[in-house]
Amino acid sequence: VAAAQQSADGFGKLYDCYFGRVYGFVASKVNDRGDAEDLTSEIFMKVLENINSFEWRGIPFGGWLFKIARNTLNSYYATHAKSSTKDIDEVYGLADDENKTSPHTNAARNELAEKVRVVMNELPEREKTVVQLKFYGQLNNREIMHATGLSESNVGIILFRTLKKIKPELTYFS
């Protein structure tokens, strides 16, 4: 972070480190690949504009960055009134590789993706956001705490209870 505050090369390294995680989280929240790309760019522009205001006060950089991501998404929702999730195949670029895998693998992947989408859509917004930050954004519980304003223990409890709740619905696929 200190290098990013001093030079473009430093910011580039920070960007490379966090881009996939931020894009994964954003893509899990919006319904359009183009919107996800635009929002991710907007988030990193805000990070670049505000990087010099970041100070180490016990808040990890990832938590600060994902708080910017959540605020950007909230503005997007207010403008576009969208809150649907993204197809898991598209998030991971799997839809582009369909011809490279067997029909059985594609069918199983599509069935799992649909089940995950249904299960995620049934979750309350707070649980959904915590799970998305954990698995799409790849944040640890402390970073999720700072991104959401929940306590770290509350994040852990929400994750534990949510995963316990959805596990029976997804055990057929494991």
User: pLDDT tens-digit profile of 125-160?
Assistant: 899 889 888 888 888 888 888 888 888 888 888 888
Percent of residues, the chain, with pLDDT higher than 70: 80
Q: Distance (Å, rounded) from C-alpha 28 to C-alpha 102?
A: 26
Q: Which pLDDT value is given to residue 153?
A: 85
Q: Which tops the pLDDT comparison, 39 or 85?
A: 39
CB atoms within 10 A of CB 99: 6
pTM of the model: 0.56
Q: Which tops the pLDDT comparison, 45 or 88?
A: 45
What b/e string do you get for 22-40 counting C-beta neighbours within 10 Å, with b at 16 or more?
Answer: bbbbbbbbbeebebbeebb
Average pLDDT over residues 50-74: 86
Q: Which pLDDT value is given to residue 82?
A: 46
Q: Which pLDDT value is given to residue 42?
A: 92
* Res. 40 pLDDT band, cuts 50 70 90: very high
Residue 59 backbone class (left: φ over 0; alpha: ψ -120 to 50; beta: rest): beta
